[in-house]
Structure 1
């Protein structure tokens, strides 16, 4: 049986096959922790981000103070659709609203009822009793734009104020109301 030759000051078994020193267990845990932290930060920044709703403009669907998860990735391949909740950059900062009009649509509110392309839209999340006699539009949604409204129409600053929103301003879709 042959003896293992080890440089002075090292323990037997602390060298790899190539003669290099193995990282200590503490160093391995530190590197793994940094890798996991980096992965979590990357996922939170570019894939799924928590967002806190700071107004009651989306009530009752999203009461003020609600936290939602926002998918920031899939909009790159599949644009927002009707009735989806999206996060976008408004002149007042990031906000969540509901998409009610897509490019080429004509949007109007007639006696509190939303009409898209002349057809009334059923919106069970809107309390029409608070909106009696509301009229708006018609507005045509241009190419590369969406029209968004808050569910709490009485207390929402949305496309009725901002106008249609550029698709580039839409930064994510809400995946957990």
Structure 2
């Protein structure tokens, strides 16, 4: 009887270990969940969004694994992001903090913002006024301008259009020097342009090494607006943003 009980515990432990290894494997090579804690990517991503990031999109680096063990450098099966991809990366300053931004510049690109308008390789990027947008869930409620920004096409890739927000065209990062993206790096910006710490802040974020890319944001699997706390079960149905569930990140 004692042997049977001991064997049962051993089988349970083995099952837990196997399940943990499978979960780590999926997280390392396939998909990893992330949540959005700040409003730097509004209106594309809202505070309270939960999304899956594909780990295979740009190949694998040490940052693909839990705790980023220093086992090797560079990327295995590496490939460049496309301009317009929304990507998670490790902050270059500490190689541990997760950031999520839109990839605007690739190696060799020249990036500049003039009067709030993004310039890529000396040419202004087209933006179209959409209307006013009310920002909620990230500090004081405010009304800002919403634009559709259309990045120029890459060889074999259609032009990428996405939405951005601008408080005005005269905020601190609305007029920048020209940045030349060095080899092996990308330039990332938030869609909430006047409320984003990104590659324009060279002393805080700067250029992102390709090695620091974790993966590409694919789709939102859950989203809550923060109106109900975890124990307020009665408020859950109205707190969930049902229309955002399983929507693609573009």
**C-alpha separation in 2, matches of 1:61 and 1:112:** 19
Between the aligned partners of 2:15 and 2:90, the Cα distance in structure 1 is: 35
Deviates more, 1:65-74 or 1:37-46: 37-46
Using the TM superposition, give the Cα deviation of residue 131 of structure 1 relative to its aligned residue in structure 2, in angstroms: 3.0
The alpha carbon displacement at 1:28 in A equals 8.2
| The 10-residue stretch of structure 1 (116-125 or 29-38) with the greater mean CA deviation from structure 2 | 29-38
SS in structure 2 of the partner of residue 61 of structure 1: coil
Distance in structure 2 (CA, Å) of the matches to 1:29 and 1:89: 36
TM-score by length of 1: 0.76
- So what's the TM-score if we normalise by structure 2? 0.55
- Aligned counterparts of 2:82 and 2:110: Cα–Cα separation in 1: 15
Match of 2:165 among 113, 127, 132: 127
Number of the residue aligned with 1:15 = none
Aligned to 2:56: 73
Q: Contact conserved, 1:53 with 1:95, CA < 8 A, in 2?
A: no
Contact residue 85 and residue 174 of structure 1 kept, 8 A: yes
- Could you say which residue in structure 2 is the equivalent of 1:101? 105
1:64-100 superposed Cα distances (whole Å, 9 cap, x missing partner) = 1211111112311322110001111113710100000
Where do 5+ consecutive residues of structure 2 fail to align? 1-6, 60-76, 127-148, 150-161, 220-248
Q: Deviations over 1:90-132 (max 9, x none)?
A: 137101000000000000001101111012223141124x132
Q: Is the CA contact (8 Å cut-off) linking 1:126 and 1:152 kept in structure 2?
A: yes
Residue 52 in 1 paired to residue 6 in 2? no
Alpha-carbon distance in 2 for matches of 1:98, 1:131 = 20
1:167 partnered with 2:196: no
How far apart, in 2, do the equivalents of 1:84 and 1:157 lie? 17
Q: Deviations over 1:35-91 (max 9, x none)?
A: 455323310233200001111000010011211111112311322110001111113
- Distance in 2, Cα, partners of 1:82 & 1:96: 14
CA contact (8 A) 2:102 2:191 kept: yes
Runs of 5+ unmatched residues, structure 1: 1-23
The answer as to whether partners of 2:165 and 2:194 remain within 8 angstroms in 1 is no
Distance 2:80 2:118 in 1: 22
Q: Which has more radius of gyration?
A: 1
**1:131–1:153 CA contact under 8 A, matched in 2:** no
